[in-house]
């Protein structure tokens, strides 16, 4: 592989001087080799090198050559895998096929009490859960107003009209978590008979309302809010859970394509099970240590504090990603959890800027920005949360007009990526 030109090296030095890029390799012009790796552990993941494009001082985006892509990978915050991809491209063993525009994905983890029962009670969180019955139609109306696609990752237990049907639809194998509090099956004796008498646990009427709205996808959040990384969440038990989830969805005419894993816990083995059931998309985690998938005991105060701070200040980058294929499923990686509003003032302006600036990056780089939350996060302070979301959607329209950014479901994003892989343009992992 030939060396970089002096112009390319000078451009890198200028970029470093601006503070916009953090170099990790020092390039020796005389000896024409890399003098050393400065810091591997500080690298932030920015996706496939195929996503890299150069932005000039006027903010215009232009394609760059394979050689420049390698150089950009050396002078920008990135991943070692990205540099490896760039070298393959330079050697003629990779492809640079890319979508024509960025994509804006929203997914909602629709779970009611099934998703919080091991941490919260109806006494202290029931108001949020009941508020979902106002939040869902309000969100659907806002999405329709702005022509926004959304994936509703829905717990399978919400699909039942009454307790008799729910008990009849339970999977044959059920998790035996070391911590029995994690099992929702311990709660079945406590729930009411139907949605009218116990609105905390049943959601069929809201599912039907979502199904009646355009551009809305019903995905899965597993049947029982299954915890893949907790002791007792083995893959064969998970297979039984997914069989039940697909069966109850099929009875409503739904062919599940997308999954968001509860507490974002998953492994390659669990992904392989999803592939066996015909799913095509999953929501992976942001690729930085404090967002890494882990069990409940792994969620330390330090990790939670970093995640919270990252919602307001850029500790880990934009988290825009190109889709990649993992175990046969397309990883439509999370970019940002939309925290519920905490009032107004500077903190909310920072939180909005953190989101919109990452959306800008995805639009310019033609990557994916994936925003997610739970409907119960909007269960109280609904109007203020909707106003914050409206500001995000208004910003999306600016990017739609300026860069052609598109609103897509997880399944649509995966389908596009799988079409791309058939033409050789997608990265495998």
Q: What is the pTM of this model?
A: 0.76
Of the candidates 103, 154, 114, the one whose C-alpha atom is nearest the C-alpha of residue 371 is 103
How far apart CA 14 and CA 209 sit, in angstroms, is: 55
- Say if CB 385 and CB 340 are below 8 A apart: yes
Domain spans in the chain, listed from the N-terminal domain onward: 6-90, 103-422
Query: Class for domain 103-422, per CATH?
Result: alpha beta
Reduced to 3 states, what is the DSSP secondary structure of residue 150? strand
- Say if CB 423 and CB 97 are below 8 A apart: yes
Which residues are CB-contacts of 280 (< 8 A; sequence separation ≥ 6)? 257, 258, 329, 330, 411, 414, 415, 418
Please state the length of the chain.
429
Reduced to 3 states, what is the DSSP secondary structure of residue 102? coil
Query: What is the CB neighbour count within 10 angstroms for residue 127?
Result: 12
How far apart CA 404 and CA 413 sit, in angstroms, is: 15
Residue 44 token pair = 């932030």
Q: What is the residue-level pLDDT of the chain in tens, covering all 429 positions?
A: 344 444 444 444 443 333 333 333 322 233 223 233 222 222 233 233 333 333 222 333 334 444 444 444 444 444 444 444 444 434 433 333 456 899 999 999 999 999 999 999 999 999 999 999 999 999 999 999 999 999 999 999 999 999 999 999 999 999 999 999 999 999 999 999 999 999 999 999 999 999 999 999 999 999 999 999 999 999 999 999 999 999 999 999 999 999 999 998 999 999 999 999 999 999 998 877 677 777 777 778 887 787 877 877 888 777 778 888 999 999 999 999 999 997 778 889 999 999 999 999 999 999 999 999 999 999 999 999 999 999 999 999 999 999 999 999 999 999 998 887 777 655 555
The single residue listed with the structure tokens 């739904």 is 254
CA separation, residue 161 to residues 116, 132, 222 (Å):
21, 17, 18
Residue 198 token pair = 């116990």
Strands (E) across 205-359 are located at 216-220, 258-259, 281-282, 324-326, 329-331, 336-337
């Amino acid at each position: 592989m030939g060396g970089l030109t002096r112009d390319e090296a000078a451009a890198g030095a200028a970029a470093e001087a601006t503070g916009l890029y953090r170099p990790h390799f020092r390039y020796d012009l005389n000896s024409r080799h890399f003098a050393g790796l400065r810091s591997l552990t500080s690298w932030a993941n920015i996706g496939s090198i195929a996503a890299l494009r150069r932005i000039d001082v006027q903010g215009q985006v232009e394609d760059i050559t394979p050689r420049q892509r390698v150089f950009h990978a050396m002078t920008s915050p990135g991943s070692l895998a990205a540099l490896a991809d760039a070298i393959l491209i330079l050697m003629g063993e990779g492809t640079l096929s890319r979508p024509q525009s960025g994509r804006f994905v929203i997914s909602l983890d629709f779970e009611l009490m099934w998703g919080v029962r091991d941490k919260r009670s109806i006494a202290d969180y029931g108001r949020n859960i009941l508020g979902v019955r106002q939040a869902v139609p309000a969100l659907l109306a806002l999405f329709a107003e702005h022509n926004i696609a959304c994936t509703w990752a829905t717990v399978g237990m919400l699909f039942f009209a009454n307790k008799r049907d729910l008990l009849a639809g339970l999977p044959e194998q059920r998790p035996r978590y070391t911590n029995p509090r994690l099992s929702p099956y311990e709660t079945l004796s406590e729930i009411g008979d139907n949605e009218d008498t116990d609105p905390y646990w049943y959601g069929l009427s809201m599912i039907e309302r979502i199904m009646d709205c355009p551009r809305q996808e019903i995905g899965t959040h597993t049947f029982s809010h299954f915890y893949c990384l907790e002791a007792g969440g083995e893959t064969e038990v998970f297979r039984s859970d997914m069989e039940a989830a697909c069966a109850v969805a099929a009875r409503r005419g739904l062919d599940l394509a997308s999954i968001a894993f509860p507490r974002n816990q998953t492994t390659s083995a669990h992904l392989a099970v999803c592939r066996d059931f015909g799913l095509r998309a999953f929501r992976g985690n942001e690729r930085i240590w404090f967002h890494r998938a882990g069990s409940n005991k792994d969620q330390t105060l330090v990790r939670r504090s970093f995640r919270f701070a990252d919602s307001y200040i850029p500790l880990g980058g934009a988290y825009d990603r190109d889709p990649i294929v993992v175990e046969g499923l397309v990883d439509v990686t999370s970019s940002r959890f939309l925290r519920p509003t905490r009032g107004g003032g500077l903190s909310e302006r920072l939180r909005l800027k953190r989101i919109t600036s990452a959306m800008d990056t995805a639009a310019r780089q033609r990557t994916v920005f994936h925003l997610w939350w739970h409907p119960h996060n909007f269960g109280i302070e609904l109007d203020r949360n909707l106003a914050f979301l409206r500001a995000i959607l208004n910003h999306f329209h600016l990017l739609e007009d300026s860069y052609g950014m598109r609103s897509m479901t997880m399944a649509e994003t995966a389908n596009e990526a799988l079409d791309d892989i058939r033409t050789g343009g997608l990265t495998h992992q």
